[in-house]
Amino acid sequence: MNRYPLWKNLLIVFVLLIGIYYALPNLFGQSPVVQVSPEKSAPVDASLQKTIEEKLRDSGIPFENISIEKNSVLVKFNSLDDQLKAKDVLEGLKGYRAALNLKPNVPEWLAKTGGKPMNLGLDLRGGVHFLLQVDMDAAEKQLKEQLVSDIRQLLKEDKISNRGIKVDGRTIKVHLRSAGDLEKAYDKLRTRLTDLAFSTDDSQGDFWLIGKIRDQALVNMKTKALEQNLTTLRSRVNELGVAEPQIQQQGSDRIVVELPGIQDTAKAKRLLDATATLEYRAVDMEHNAYEAERTGRIPVGYKLYHDKQGNPVLLKKRVIASGNQLINATSGIDQQTGTPMVSVTLNSVGAKRMLDFTKKNVGNNMAVVYKERIPVGKDPKTGKTRYKESEVVISNARINGVFSSRFQTTGLDSMEEATQLALLLRAGALAAPVEIVEERTVGPSLGQENIEQGFKSVVIGFVLVLIFMAVYYKVFGLVADIALTFNLVMIVSILSMLGATLTLPGIAGIVLTVGMAVDANVLIFERIKEELRNGASVQTAIKAGYEKAFSTIADANITTLIAAIVLFAFGTGPIKGFAVTLGIGILTSMFTAIMVSRALINWLYGRKKHLRSLAI
């Protein structure tokens, strides 16, 4: 007799019910919405909601509902035409931006238990595509500045005086005062700064130490800049909350960023190429900043800055701590002043420097400099975006006590500015500036067309397989069809639960899986027919068919699974999407083709002792 124990039948039923439950959210579809968000500190409240309602009604544009969610107003529509018309109308709201988006229609009872539809990729859901150019010239400039700073620090340690340091192309020249200083500097720097190839020149009566940046150092610098930018951009996008973004290297100095579901290109652009960071510097408590600005005489070791009101502030050139040394930053409200603030946590290096500084400077002032790179238009000759560096003192406060790793930064204009700054600080600074050289928006309407075409391809492939199996294998073919249906449900369910992203190549993987999933049943059924031809009884043939075909099925699926794993490990973008659906499909097909179909065959024939033939 062919029977499963009760626990195994219950386990199969339980797994199938869970699969059906978590596949359900994909049946409810998505509705087109317009998302209205504030540009800076504009309020998002009932008044804004009412204004939007009035504008839409005055324009005769019907909408399904309107709600406030996560500091933005979402207006849901029944058609894409109404969505596009509404966006044109709502873009006129001063201080706000309107963006196209899609929102799942999952019922609340299903959403509360973790039910959610599959994430859709850029080609299905719509979104934005950016091609970023990494400014390697700026990265090289930063390397030179760092090397000059290191040279000054090392010479200062050994009290080696110099007449100046200048940079000429990829060469750094140090003008020493004597032959003795030249010899000591050469011995010191050539062992400590391996990125420079040092030589000396005293032929003209002057003493020069010449350091040329090695080619390998430049290669390493560019590689590191690109890798750090990739890491930083991934962190920033994760903070943005984009489902399954694609961020990958293209060539030696470009990065591709794809953000599914994001239609607000302005917000995405501000986040991607932003270079805002903070620097903590000591305030000059001895000299008069106004006098220094008027005369142009800046004390040695200091630099002139300005606060938000335009008042001059003299700050030490040496940075106490910077955004690169932050390991966490959160925005909030200062309990004493009620103003926006950012609470920061420094790493061990920054914390030690801050502790040492505050111990010696209680009662003095420390300033916070907000540094930002602002676009100022295109260069008419090169066509590249030009930027200006903005350095503003946002805080100049008295140090009332000793602190190290945790403290607050105030002086910000709005809560949104505080939130944005905290986000950038958490994500880290870009190693080199990036410029957006290509921008492309894929609208939800185009994505909807891709979804419909992909759905048709799955349905057509699925139906053809069902018909073939039912005609060729009769009742056993219908059992395979039921197992195949459950297999498709399981794939969708697992993709939904894992939060994996479905793309057009992913749909191709599902179509391929549908065709491959019945291979196991074909092997089993052919084995059963062979056993019957050899004179075995019906029950024996069924048992032998499933048991003897298992090793062949396992071998075939394991080799395909290995290929899917390799594709996922070494592939990028669309290839990964294909590999994910293929891998999941292989695992689910093993379960449905062997266990589910066997359970159904047992239910149909397992209790019939005197069967003489099978509908196969």
Is residue 132 assigned to a domain? no
Residues 469 and 382 in one domain: no
Residues 288 and 412 in one domain: yes
Bridge partners for 368 per DSSP: 280, 395
Residues 152 and 88 in one domain: no
| Domain stops at, among 400, 429, 458 | 429
> What pLDDT score does 376 carry?
63
User: What's the rounded Cα separation, in Å, for the pair 384 and 134?
Assistant: 12
Is residue 112 assigned to a domain? no
Please choose, from the candidates 235, 417, 422, the residue with its C-alpha nearest in 3D space to the C-alpha of residue 343.
422
The rounded average pLDDT for each run of 10 residues, N- to C-terminus, in the chain (616 residues) is 83 93 88 78 81 89 86 84 84 77 83 84 77 85 83 82 85 88 86 87 84 89 83 71 70 84 67 73 90 88 88 89 76 80 81 88 87 68 70 83 80 71 65 80 66 80 86 89 91 88 82 82 88 85 87 87 88 78 90 90 79 73
Is residue 612 assigned to a domain? no
| Domain stops at, among 401, 429, 457 | 429
Residues 410 and 448 in one domain: no
Please choose, from the candidates 407, 399, 411, 388, the residue with its C-alpha nearest in 3D space to the C-alpha of residue 311.
411
Residues 301 and 392 in one domain: yes
HEC-encoded secondary structure of 22-39: HHHHHHCCEEEEEEEEEC
Is residue 326 assigned to a domain? yes
Antiparallel, parallel or unpaired: β 406-409 and 340-346:
antiparallel
601: three-class secondary structure by DSSP: helix
Residues 202 and 100 in one domain: no
Please choose, from the candidates 83, 42, 78, the residue with its C-alpha nearest in 3D space to the C-alpha of residue 59.
83
Is residue 525 assigned to a domain? yes
| In 281-347, alpha helices (H) | 289-295
Residues 516 and 389 in one domain: no
275: CB partners within 8 A, 6+ apart? 371, 372, 373, 429, 430, 433
Phi, psi at residue 524, to the nearest 5°? -65, -45
Bridge partners for 365 per DSSP: 398
Amino acid at 537: S
Residues 594 and 449 in one domain: yes
Write the DSSP symbol of residue 596. Answer: I
- What's the full length of the chain, in residues? 616
Is residue 482 assigned to a domain? yes
Instruction: Assign residue 144 the CATH number of its domain.
Output: 3.30.1360
Is residue 584 assigned to a domain? yes
What's the angle, vertex CA 450, arms to CA 446 and CA 454, rounded to 5?
170
Give CA separation, 514 vs 209, 232, 463, 511, 601, in Å: 71, 39, 10, 5, 21
Asked if 462 and 516 touch (Cβ cutoff 8 Å), the reply is no
Residues 156 and 179 in one domain: yes
19: CB partners within 8 A, 6+ apart? 486, 489, 490, 493, 494
User: What's the rounded Cα separation, in Å, for the pair 214 and 197?
Assistant: 6
User: What's the rounded Cα separation, in Å, for the pair 195 and 124?
Assistant: 48
What's the angle, vertex CA 112, arms to CA 109 and CA 114, rounded to 5?
115
Asked if 412 and 340 touch (Cβ cutoff 8 Å), the reply is yes
Asked if 34 and 75 touch (Cβ cutoff 8 Å), the reply is yes
| In 249-401, alpha helices (H) | 265-272, 289-295, 348-360
User: What's the rounded Cα separation, in Å, for the pair 469 and 602?
Assistant: 19
| Domain stops at, among 63, 84, 104 | 104
User: What's the rounded Cα separation, in Å, for the pair 52 and 573?
Assistant: 38
Instruction: Assign residue 412 the CATH number of its domain.
Output: 3.30.1360.200
Write the DSSP symbol of residue 479. Answer: H
What's the angle, vertex CA 182, arms to CA 177 and CA 187, rounded to 5?
150
Please choose, from the candidates 273, 310, 314, the residue with its C-alpha nearest in 3D space to the C-alpha of residue 291.
314
Instruction: Assign residue 480 the CATH number of its domain.
Output: 1.20.1640.10
Residues 476 and 565 in one domain: yes
Residues 373 and 501 in one domain: no
Longest dimension (CA), the chain: 113
471: three-class secondary structure by DSSP: helix
> What pLDDT score does 157 carry?
79
468: three-class secondary structure by DSSP: helix
Residues 477 and 572 in one domain: yes
At which residue do the structure tokens 């600080």 appear?
Answer: 425
Burial of residue 563 (CB within 10 Å: 0-12, 13-18, 19+) is middle
Q: How many domains does the chain have?
A: 4
User: What's the rounded Cα separation, in Å, for the pair 255 and 226?
Assistant: 8
> What pLDDT score does 20 carry?
94
Amino acid at 565: I
Torsion, Cα 585 587 593 596, to 10 degrees, reads -110
Q: What percent of the chain is helix, strand and coil (3-state, nearest 5)?
A: 50, 25, 25
> Can you list the positions of beta strands (E) in 298-432?
302-307, 312-322, 326-333, 340-346, 365-378, 385-398, 406-409
Antiparallel, parallel or unpaired: β 162-168 and 96-104:
unpaired
Instruction: Assign residue 63 the CATH number of its domain.
Output: 3.30.70.260
- For the record, the structure tokens of 139 come out as 């990265």
Is residue 478 assigned to a domain? yes
| In 499-537, alpha helices (H) | 504-533
> What pLDDT score does 229 carry?
82
Give buried/exposed letters for 71-107 (b at 16+ CB in 10 A, else e): ebbbbbbeeeebbbbbbebbeebeebbbbbbbebebe
Write out the residue range of the structural domain in which residue 173 sits: 137-218
> What pLDDT score does 378 carry?
66
